Amino acid sequence: MQKIDLNNKTIFVTGAAGFVASNLVKRLFKDVKGATVIGIDNMNDYYDVTLKEYRLNKLNTTVPEGISWQFVKGDVADKQTIDDIFKTCQPQVVVHLAAQAGVRYSITNPDAYIMSNIIGFYNILEACRHYPVEHLVYASSSSVYGGNKKVPFSTEDRVDNPVSLYAATKKSNELFAHCYSKLYDIPTTGLRFFTVYGPAGRPDMAYFDFTNKLLKGETIPLFNYGNCRRDLTYVDDTVEAVFRVMQGALEHKKGDDGLPIAPYAVYNVGGGHPENLFDFLKILEEELVRAGVLPSDFDLDAHKELVPMQPGDVPTTYADTTALEQAYGFTPKIPLREGLRQFAEWYKDYYF
């Protein structure tokens, strides 16, 4: 493993106004000295833009002394924009978290996924080829496991049967990364995220969407008749994993043929403990009541509706994180109740 000291480095973070990326930038502000951090985000309206502006404002108003922060409003699918950033700033570490997210949205709006997740990632790889970087870390997804019935999911499993276009684009990212690692000796590390949640998260995620529906008195559809389990990862745990991975890339080595051995790796980033949908919903309700978002006499059962599985979804996600723990010493720390408590308290403060 090649150790990378992030202090005094130029670090490029894509999707910087997004959920995970904004929290990563905040972590860089806290624990990296003398760095130049460049963020990019197109601020699209896939979900409420004011939430992205809220995250971005938090960053703009908390830049510590000794850190240079620059935000670019732009799209990773715009090759000229990406080339200009690399040419001007010459980042040494790149964390590519920009993507069009969402399994269901990919069924009805495939163009957005091809542009952002395929063309955008290609632009990042090409820039890393022409302006060599020490490490490219990028977001993949647990969705690549598709209908895999073997649990827990391991990075050694075959992932050739995606059940959504979103999953297919993320698997494509991994294939592209391996190709560029092999051909151009670029250290790349992909991280398969498992359902990241927490304060100021994405409103299309179940915990956030359920909260909005419960507050409005609407019914919550429980897909697969409630027989779903999800491996949830609190955002601070996810950021800790990304932060550690940034600091260690596979070393440059050559094979017997004299050509580079691809400095390529992929890891799962998950809680390692899938939660039953009913248990998850009960804890969420209790924490929303505790925070004062819902009344103490709220009747959760009256707001449940059992419905069939929807296209593109899977019944269970479950991460085997052994490889990540062995390589980087990372294990998640935040239990579900604590994480949902942080979300509920933020929700009360933000919306009330």
Choice among 105, 122, 166, 318 that is catalytic: 166
Distance CA 185, CA 344 (A): 45
Give the integer Cα–Cα distance in Å for 85 and 126. Answer: 13
What's the per-residue H, E or C state across 183-202?
HHCCCEEEEEECCEECCCCC
How far is the C-alpha of 275 from the C-alpha of 251, rounded, in Å?
37
Residue 202 CA from chain centroid, whole number:
11
One-letter-per-residue 3-state SS of 240-261: HHHHHHHCEECCCEECCCCCEE
Side chain identity, residue 293: V
Nearest alpha-carbon partner for 186 in 139, 130, 242: 130
Interacting residues of 142 by C-beta distance below 8 A, sequence separation 6+? 153, 192, 193, 194, 195, 231, 268, 270, 317, 319
| Pairwise CA distance, residues 116 & 78, whole Å | 9
Q: Which residue has the tokens 């051909």?
A: 183
Long-range CB contacts for residues 184-187, cutoff 8 Å, separation at least 24: 184/128, 184/129, 184/260, 185/252, 185/260, 185/263, 186/125, 186/128, 186/129, 186/132, 186/133, 186/136, 186/263, 187/2, 187/133, 187/134, 187/135, 187/136, 187/249, 187/250, 187/252, 187/263, 187/264
- Concerning whether 166 is annotated as a catalytic residue, the answer is yes
Active-site residue list: 166
